Amino acid sequence: MAEFSGGCRFEVFTLFPPLLNSFLRESILKKAIDRGLVAVNLHNIRDYASDRHRTCDATPYGGGGGMVLKPEPVYAAVEHVLGGAAGAAAEDVPVVLLSPQGRLLTQEVVEDLSSHRRLALICGRYEGFDERIRTGLVTDEISIGDYVLNGGEVAAMVVIEAVSRLIPGVLGFDDSNRNDSHSIGMSGRLEGPHYTRPAVFRGQSIPPVLTSGNHAEVDRWRHEQSLLRTAARRPDLLRKHPPDERDAVFLTGHGYDLHGLDIKTKGGSDG
């Protein structure tokens, strides 16, 4: 394994480090770690508990079901790894709480996270966190969707993989992620369809333009397919990233009522 040379170093705080081990030993992420482009350090919160039973949870004040993650071991773990007291420790390193109450993880958020050389990710368990973890230690709170998991480890894996893909060299080609769905290169829209060999499969042929050799026409086709797929599946993305006049005319010509979908063109006018 090469010495860590750049990219991003992830500090993951969890009660169950083995849950992430197999994830880190496979595929592109393993290669990135082996090449020193990414580093992932797993820290067992239980190692920072102060009692002989390594207790990390307790019943909630005021009653109620479930157990709550105690603040002491979480603070101790983060401060030990990052150095300094809470707040000061996080000054240069975002301390991210993975929680269904956080802001939604989008490609835009991923791109922002990828600008940091080091990220701390706190994975929860049980009923929830003592609120003082949020108010005194955490600098950001992120959710991967409007649903609840048993813990934050899966969410941590999502963040690690999404951020790592944006680190130069991880995918092998520095521009291979620019045309992913939701990316800057796609203006926040969805990718269009992809095809590979064979050219005909069970009576389904690939679009002739893809074998025409006309790169300008292929680019235009991909752009138009991206527009159509986004309008059909995620029109909300077109409200967030409005089409220009030419694209608006194209969508209208394919039966999309941009006014009815509350989609404006760049410049503010209705389509």
| Active-site option among 125, 165, 189, 222 | 165
Residue type, 36: G
Q: Is 180 an active-site residue?
A: yes
Backbone torsions φ then ψ of 96, nearest 5 degrees: -105, 125
Strand pairing category for 57-58 and 68-69: antiparallel
| Active-site option among 72, 111, 127, 161 | 127
| Active-site option among 161, 180, 191, 224 | 180
Instruction: Give the separation between CA 269 and CA 271, rounded to whole angstroms.
Output: 6
Q: Is 165 an active-site residue?
A: yes
Instruction: Give the separation between CA 231 and CA 263, rounded to whole angstroms.
Output: 10
Q: Is 127 an active-site residue?
A: yes
Cα first-last separation, the chain = 54
| Active-site option among 94, 100, 111, 134 | 100
Quick check: 165 and 105 in contact, CB under 8 A?
A: no
User: Secondary structure of the chain: what % helix, strand, coil (to 5)?
Assistant: 35, 15, 45
Instruction: Give the separation between CA 38 and CA 32, rounded to whole angstroms.
Output: 6
Degrees to nearest 5, angle at CA 145 with 141 and 150: 80
Strand pairing category for 128-129 and 68-69: parallel
**Active site residues per annotation:** 100, 127, 165, 180
